[in-house]
C-alpha cells in the first residue's frame, strides 16, 4: 500500500476487503434513519385523520405497521451494534497486522531511537480509537444526515416557516461543531502522546524492576512515573474541558431550537394558521432532528480521536523500511565465508563517524578475533556484515560478492550470532533453542543443547525442555541464558559465526567447556570473535586491534606481541 497518499484515502482503503459487511451495516443504518423519520409522519396522520374519524381498524393496522417497523429497527440496531463492531475489529486487525509487518522491516536505527512502550501504543491504544471511528464514523454520519434531510423535508410539508428555522439553525450548529473539532483534535493528539509516554515509563520500570530494587530506587521510579501520570492526567483534563464546551454548546442549541419551534408553532396555532397535531408532529420532528445532531457531535469527537491515532499510525507506516534488495540481488545457498572490508566507513549520524577507512581480509574457515577498548567499533564491524546497518562508504564483500548485491534473508541465513546481551523469548527452553531452526526435531534440539553444555542443567529443571524461562529468561542464570543462546546458534549451524563476547557471562570452568564446543563448531567455518579477555583469542588465526582510528594492527598473537604495539599494551594491562 502507498502510505504517501492522503490519510483519508489510506483510511478508507482498509474498508475494501470487508466491503460487503460495511454495505450491510450502512443499509441497516439507512433503515434506522427511515423508521425514525417515518414515526412523526405516522403520528401526524393518526392525530389528523384516524383518531378524529374513529377509524379504529385502520388505526390498529397503523399500530401494527409501526410495531413491525420498530421490530425491524431493533434487528437493524442489533446488526449495527454487533456486526458493525466486528467490521471495525477486522479493520483494526488488518492495521495491526500491517504495523507489525512494517515494524519487522524497520532498520535497527529506528529501534535505537524509539522506546518500546511508545511503539506498543501505536499498535494497541491508537488502533482501538481508529476502530471506533471506522465503525461508528460512517454509520453515525449517515444516520445523522439521512435523518436531518428526512426531517427537514417532512417539516417543510407542515410549515415552511418551521423548516426555515431549522435550516438557519443547522449552519450555526455545524459551525460550533467545526470550531470545537479543532480544539478536540489538538487535545486528542496531546493525549495520545502522553499515553505513549506513560506506556514507555511502565515498560521501562517493569523491565528494570530488579535493577530498581537492587539500587533501592523505588521512590525515584515512583516520582518519575508520577510525572508521566500527571502529564497524562492534565492532557486528558484539557481534552475534557474542550469536550464539555462542545457538548454543552450543542445541548444549548438543541434546547433553543425546541423552544423556538414551540413558540413559533404556538403563535401559528393562535393565529389559526396551524393545528395542534401539526405542532405535535413538528415537535416530534425537532426531537428526531436533535438526535442526529448528537450523533454528529459524537462523530466529530470520534473523528478527532480516531484521526489523531491514525496520524500516529501513519507516522510509523511512513518510516522508511530497511533498504530493499536490489533487483539484481542474488541468493546464496552456502557461503564459503571469505569476507573482505575495503575502505569501509560508517556513522550512526552524519556528525559522528564510528568507522573510517577500515580494510581487512577474513579467509574462509579462519578464526578472526577483534580486540580493543570498549566503544572502538568491534560490535559495529560485526553488525555491518549481516547488514543490520548500512555502510556509508567503501565495500564489504562475501566470497567476492558485494553484500549489497546479496538478498538480506539469504545473507543473514549464512550467519549465526551469539551476543553478549542475550535475549530469550518468554516461552519454553525448547522454543528458545528451536528459534535457530523452527522445524528442528527434539533430537536435534537436544544435540544442540549438549554441544552448548546446557543439556544437563535442563534435565535438572522441573519440566525439562518444557520449562518456561520467564520474561527475558529471568528464571535462568546468566550462564544458562548464554548457553541457551549458544545452543540456538549450534542448531542453526551456519557457515559464518559471530561471537560477540559470547562467553562473557560464564564461569571459567564452563567457559572452557563452551570454548571446546566452539572450536569444534568453528572447524571449516569462518568465525569472528569479539573478546575483551585476550586469553580466549590467543590461538586465533588472526587478531585485529580496533581503536578509535580504525584497525591499528593485524596479525597472529605472536606477531602482534613481537611488534610491542597496541595489542602488546592490552595484554600487559590484563596480565597486571
pLDDT (mean) for 174-186: 69
The x, y and z cell numbers of residue 409, run together, are 534473508
Domain boundaries of the chain, sorted by first residue: 7-317
pLDDT in tens, 537-563: 888 889 988 887 778 888 888 888 888
Give the pLDDT of residue 513.
67
Give the pLDDT of residue 33.
82
The sign of the dihedral angle between the CA atoms of 270, 272, 276, 278 is negative
Confidence of residue 253 (pLDDT cuts 50, 70, 90): confident
Give the pLDDT of residue 261.
77
Question: How far, in Å, CA of 294 to CA of 148, rounded?
Answer: 11
- Select the more confidently predicted residue: 549 or 303: 303
Q: Is the pLDDT of residue 178 over 70?
A: no
Q: What angle (nearest 5°) sits at the alpha carbon of residue 538, between those of residues 536 and 542?
A: 115
Contact (Cβ atoms closer than 8 angstroms) between residue 391 and residue 345: yes
Q: Which superfamily is assigned to 7-317 in CATH?
A: ABC transporter type 1, transmembrane domain (1.20.1560.10)
Q: Is the pLDDT of residue 207 over 70?
A: no
What separation in angstroms does the CA of 11 have from each of 1, 76, 102, 303, 557? 11, 25, 17, 12, 62
pLDDT (mean) for 152-157: 76
pLDDT in tens, 59-82: 888 888 888 988 998 999 899 888
Distinct helix (H) and strand (E) counts, the chain: 19, 10
DSSP string, 290-313: HHHHHHHHHHHHHHHHHHHHHHHH
DSSP string, 403-438: GGGB-HHHHHHTEEEE-SS----SSBHHHHHHTTST
* CA nearest neighbour of 109 among 403, 345, 321: 321
Q: Is the pLDDT of residue 372 over 90?
A: no
Give the pLDDT of residue 402.
92
Question: Which of 89-93, 132-136, 338-342 has the highest mean predicted lDDT (pLDDT)?
Answer: 338-342
Give the pLDDT of residue 503.
67
Contact (Cβ atoms closer than 8 angstroms) between residue 165 and residue 320: no
Give the pLDDT of residue 24.
92
Phi, psi of 91 (to 5 degrees): -65, -45
Confidence of residue 142 (pLDDT cuts 50, 70, 90): confident
**Residue 513 parent element (H or E):** helix 508-522
Question: How far, in Å, CA of 64 to CA of 58, rounded?
Answer: 10
Give the pLDDT of residue 307.
83
pLDDT (mean) for 333-343: 89
Question: Which of 295-309, 419-433, 452-466 has the highest mean predicted lDDT (pLDDT)?
Answer: 452-466
CB-based contacts of 372: which residues, under 8 Å, 6+ apart? 378, 545, 546, 547, 566, 570
What angle separates helix 19-45 from helix 56-105, to the nearest 10 degrees?
A: 150
Give the pLDDT of residue 246.
73
The x, y and z cell numbers of residue 482, run together, are 548464554
The sign of the dihedral angle between the CA atoms of 305, 308, 314, 315 is negative
CB-based contacts of 161: which residues, under 8 Å, 6+ apart? 264, 268
Question: Which of 234-243, 360-369, 432-441, 496-505 has the highest mean predicted lDDT (pLDDT)?
Answer: 360-369
CB-based contacts of 394: which residues, under 8 Å, 6+ apart? 341, 342, 343, 344, 345, 357, 358
Give the pLDDT of residue 75.
93
Contact (Cβ atoms closer than 8 angstroms) between residue 95 and residue 14: yes
Q: 196 by DSSP, 3-state: which?
A: helix
The x, y and z cell numbers of residue 151, run together, are 426531517
* CA nearest neighbour of 515 among 542, 537, 545: 537
Q: Is the pLDDT of residue 397 over 90?
A: yes
* CA nearest neighbour of 34 among 141, 144, 146, 138: 146
- The secondary structure of residue 325, as a DSSP letter, is P
Amino acid at each position: 500500500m502507498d502510505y504517501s497518499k492522503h490519510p483519508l484515502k489510506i483510511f478508507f482503503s482498509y474498508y475494501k476487503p470487508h466491503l460487503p459487511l460495511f454495505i450491510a451495516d450502512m443499509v441497516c443504518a439507512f433503515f434506522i434513519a427511515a423508521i425514525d423519520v417515518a414515526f412523526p409522519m405516522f403520528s401526524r396522520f393518526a392525530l389528523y385523520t384516524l383518531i378524529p374519524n374513529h377509524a379504529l381498524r385502520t388505526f390498529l393496522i397503523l399500530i401494527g405497521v409501526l410495531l413491525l417497523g420498530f421490530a425491524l429497527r431493533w434487528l437493524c440496531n442489533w446488526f449495527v451494534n454487533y456486526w458493525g463492531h466486528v467490521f471495525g475489529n477486522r479493520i483494526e486487525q488488518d492495521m495491526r497486522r500491517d504495523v507489525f509487518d512494517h515494524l519487522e522491516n524497520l532498520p535497527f536505527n529506528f529501534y535505537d531511537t524509539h522506546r518500546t512502550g511508545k511503539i506498543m501504543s501505536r499498535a494497541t491504544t491508537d488502533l482501538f480509537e481508529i476502530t471506533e471511528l471506522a465503525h461508528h464514523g460512517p454509520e453515525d454520519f449517515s444516520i445523522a444526515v439521512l435523518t436531518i434531510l428526512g426531517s427537514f423535508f417532512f417539516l417543510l410539508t407542515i410549515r415552511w416557516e418551521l423548516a426555515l428555522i431549522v435550516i438557519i439553525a443547522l449552519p450555526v450548529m455545524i459551525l460550533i461543531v467545526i470550531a470545537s473539532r479543532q480544539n478536540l483534535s489538538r487535545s486528542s493528539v496531546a493525549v495520545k502522546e502522553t499515553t505513549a509516554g506513560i506506556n514507555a515509563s511502565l515498560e521501562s520500570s517493569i523491565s528494570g524492576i530488579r535493577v530498581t530494587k537492587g539500587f533501592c530506587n523505588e521512590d525515584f521510579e515512583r516520582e518519575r512515573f508520577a510525572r508521566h501520570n500527571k502529564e497524562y492526567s492534565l492532557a486528558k483534563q484539557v481534552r475534557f474541558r474542550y469536550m464539555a464546551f462542545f457538548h454543552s454548546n450543542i445541548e444549548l442549541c438543541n434546547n433553543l431550537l425546541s423552544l423556538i419551534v414551540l413558540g413559533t408553532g404556538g403563535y401559528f396555532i393562535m393565529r389559526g394558521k396551524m393545528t395542534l397535531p401539526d405542532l405535535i408532529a413538528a415537535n416530534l420532528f425537532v426531537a428526531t432532528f436533535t438526535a442526529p445532531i448528537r450523533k454528529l457531535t459524537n462523530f466529530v469527537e470520534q473523528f478527532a480521536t480516531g484521526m489523531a491515532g491514525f496520524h500516529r499510525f501513519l507516522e510509523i507506516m511512513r518510516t522508511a523500511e530497511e533498504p530493499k534488495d536490489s533487483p539484481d540481488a542474488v541468493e546464496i545457498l552456502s557461503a564459503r565465508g571469505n569476507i573482505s572490508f575495503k575502505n569501509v566507513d560508517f556513522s550512526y549520524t552524519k556528525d559522528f563517524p564510528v568507522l573510517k577507512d577500515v580494510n581487512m581480509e577474513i579467509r574462509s574457515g579462519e578464526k578472526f578475533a577483534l580486540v580493543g577498548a570498549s566503544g572502538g567499533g568491534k560490535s559495529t564491524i560485526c553488525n555491518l556484515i549481516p547488514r543490520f546497518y548500512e555502510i556509508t562508504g567503501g565495500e564489504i564483500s562475501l566470497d567476492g560478492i558485494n553484500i549489497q548485491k546479496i538478498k538480506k534473508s539469504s545473507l543473514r541465513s549464512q550467519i549465526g550470532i551469539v551476543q553478549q546481551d542475550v535475549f530469550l523469548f518468554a516461552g519454553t527452553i525448547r522454543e528458545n533453542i528451536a528459534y535457530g531452526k523452527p522445524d528442528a526435531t527434539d533430537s536435534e534440539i537436544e544435540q544442540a543443547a549438549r554441544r552448548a553444555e546446557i543439556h544437563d542443567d535442563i534435565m535438572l529443571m522441573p519440566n525439562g525442555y518444557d520449562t518456561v524461562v520467564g520474561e527475558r529468561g529471568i528464571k535462568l542464570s546468566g550462564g544458562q541464558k548464554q548457553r541457551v543462546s549458544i545452543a540456538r546458534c549450534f542448531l542453526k549451524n551456519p557457515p559464518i559465526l559471530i561471537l560477540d563476547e559470547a562467553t562473557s557471562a560464564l564461569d571459567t570452568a564452563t567457559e572452557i567447556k563452551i570454548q571446546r564446543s566452539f572450536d569444534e563448531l568453528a572447524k571449516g567455518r569462518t568465525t569472528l570473535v569479539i573478546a575483551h579477555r585476550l586469553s580466549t583469542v590467543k590461538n586465533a588465526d588472526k587478531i585485529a586491534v580496533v581503536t578509535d582510528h580504525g584497525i591499528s594492527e593485524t596479525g597472529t598473537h605472536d606477531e602482534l606481541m613481537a611488534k610491542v604495539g597496541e595489542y602488546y599494551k592490552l595484554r600487559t594491562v590484563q596480565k597486571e
